[in-house]
Amino acid sequence: MARLFDAYVIADWTAAEGKKLGENSVWIGVAKRDVRFRLYTETHNVATRAEGEALIQSILADHKKRGDRVFVGFDFSLGYPVGTAARLQLTGTPAWTAMWKFIASNVVDKADNTNNRYQVAAKMNRLMTGEAWPLWGAPAKQAQRWLTTTKPPQGTGDIPEFRATENAVRKGKLQPKSNWQMHGAGAVGGQTLVGIPMVRRLLEGLGSAGAVWPLGTGWRPLDAADVEPLSVLIAEVWPSMWPTTVQEGEFKDQAQVRTTAEHFALMDERGELSAAFGPAKTADEALITQVEDEEGWILGV
């Protein structure tokens, strides 16, 4: 069975303010094959998200010149729990595109990494519930009426804490964080707010040569006929799902992007990646609609 992709790019993002290298900064892993078709991996570390975005564009441009198809995985959420767009009174369909447009038009993320993610989180709370809920978590100096430093008691309404994909993960040993958590160890909320506008720009630049799974492709197995018209397919990944051995001299984040890139490359080699894009056997029509329309899914769950 032919491989779907020629290269596998995994980006470990950050919401940090200020320039930073090393642990908890932007790491990008690339698994590809040499002239003898042997798989090898490179890792890159950059000090800002702007540099990370430029590096990803450069990597994709290099592969496009060679006619390669590239899988790109980002380690933040590409969707929000079902009903989020409706609570923000966003009317565009599908809901995920309305959310992406809202986030991109509100988030200001400067070249030096300063950004307004806490202000955007507070605005979302004000619009969704009129209280400091569901988004929570901020340094003391960023806390305000609509955003608390610690998790408040659950507010009004029936807002889900997790998406269906996180609930599926939580049945095992792994405990992913909620999109609503903006601050604290492992929090993904901030990365999601600064990450989605970047992915949106990447896809706009790619035009018909780029797609995002499962939001743009449908939640279904993808085969060569689906992937051949594309130069890039983007998906959400969670590196913590895969066992990682940190080699001597490596940072943990560096090891994770390397391992995750290798993992998807080997799945593709074995012909297992196509089916991984499809839903679980237990998924009903309602869940498939929820995932495709608004929430997205973590590849491999």
158 and 265 in a common domain: no
Band of residue 299 on the pLDDT scale cut at 50, 70, 90: very high
141 and 56 in a common domain: yes
Domain hosting residue 280, numbered range: 211-231+249-288
What pLDDT is attached to residue 172?
77
172 and 127 in a common domain: yes
256 and 116 in a common domain: no
> Of 72, 61, 58, 57, which is closest to residue 7 (Cα–Cα)?
72
What pLDDT is attached to residue 2?
85
56 and 190 in a common domain: yes
- Please check whether residue 26 lies inside any domain of the structure: no
Mean pLDDT of the residues in the chain: 95
How many domains are contained in the chain? 2
270 and 200 in a common domain: no
140 and 223 in a common domain: no
134 and 183 in a common domain: yes
What mean pLDDT do residues 35-56 have? 95
- Please check whether residue 137 lies inside any domain of the structure: yes
- pLDDT tens by residue, 49-87: 999 999 999 999 999 999 999 999 999 999 999 999 999
What pLDDT is attached to residue 1?
65
Chain mean position to CA 180:
15
187 and 280 in a common domain: no
206 and 116 in a common domain: yes
Burial 138-160 (b: 16+ CB within 10 A, else e): beeebbeebbbbeeeeeeeeebb
166 and 56 in a common domain: yes
Asked whether the predicted pLDDT for residue 178 surpasses 60, the reply is yes
- For the ranges 109-113, 154-158, 215-219, the lowest mean pLDDT is seen at 154-158
Q: Within a 10 A sphere around the Cβ of 256, how many other Cβ atoms?
A: 25
Residue pair 278/219 in contact (Cβ under 8 Å)? The answer is yes
- Please check whether residue 82 lies inside any domain of the structure: no
